[in-house]
Amino acid sequence: TNKMQMSSIWSVMVAFEKPLDSLQFEGAFFPESEILSWAGNNTKKLGHESKWETWTLLSTKEFGSLNKVPQESLPEETEKAIVNTLLRELEAQTGLPLDSLKPQFQKAQLWGAAVPINALSNTRIVWDPSCKVGICGDWLKTKSNIESAALSGLELAEAIHNHYSKNIETSIGMSEKFGLPKASGVDADIGSFGGVKPKVVAKPPSKV
């Protein structure tokens, strides 16, 4: 297909009054989980000590799609259910006692257009010299990270430079097809893990 398809992912932020010394990592993927894809310690990422410790939890795309609700005016009961499910899954995946993670602050947000389900095969950019329009971004070919975004931007800048300085009229990516990216082990992207049977925990708000 020539159409990009995006996945939905639940993003949860939780804050604890004391550091979670029981978790001996700063960030981790969970390839065996049908619910939780990633957990990262934001406080450590900032590079300074703090009384509070904040973590970000990202669901799998399967869990996100199965528990998709309107992103605006998220019902309080839905937010509580999502946060509770991801926290309990983090405990299960890391061997912590059930209900041992009790955050003092929590916030959930459905990331409706999170990361691509498909991607371009052979290029990081799209460039149409006839219209002088280009597209770049980490989501076009490789993993969703800063490095991929920078490389894509540099390639588009080079294409624009070649067009104006060398009169190169070759289009890039215009006939490319989107296909499934590699999604196994450390090569997989955020949200790429999970099985096919995640549970439903979020209920769409009732229609008035």
**What's the predicted TM-score (pTM) here?**
0.75
Classify 125 in phi/psi space as left (phi over 0), alpha (psi -120 to 50) or beta: beta
What span, in angstroms and rounded, lies between the C-alpha atoms of 66 and 8?
9
Question: Would you state the pLDDT for residue 145?
Answer: 76
Nearest to 86 by CA among 116, 114, 109: 109
Contact 13, 106 (CB under 8 A): yes
Question: Would you state the pLDDT for residue 89?
Answer: 97
What span, in angstroms and rounded, lies between the C-alpha atoms of 20 and 97?
13
User: 29: which strand partners?
Assistant: 38
Q: CA–CA distance from 105 to each of 56, 96, 182 (Å)? A: 12, 20, 36
Question: Would you state the pLDDT for residue 208?
Answer: 31
Q: CA–CA distance from 125 to each of 118, 136, 165 (Å)? A: 14, 5, 19
Question: Would you state the pLDDT for residue 182?
Answer: 55
Nearest to 98 by CA among 81, 78, 79, 84: 84
Exposure of 193 by Cβ count < 10 A (0-12 exposed, 13-18 middle, 19+ buried)?
Answer: buried
Question: Would you state the pLDDT for residue 133?
Answer: 95
Contact 127, 159 (CB under 8 A): yes
Question: Would you state the pLDDT for residue 203?
Answer: 56
Classify 139 in phi/psi space as left (phi over 0), alpha (psi -120 to 50) or beta: alpha
Residues of the chain with pLDDT under 50: 183-187, 196, 205-208
Mean of pLDDT over the chain? 83
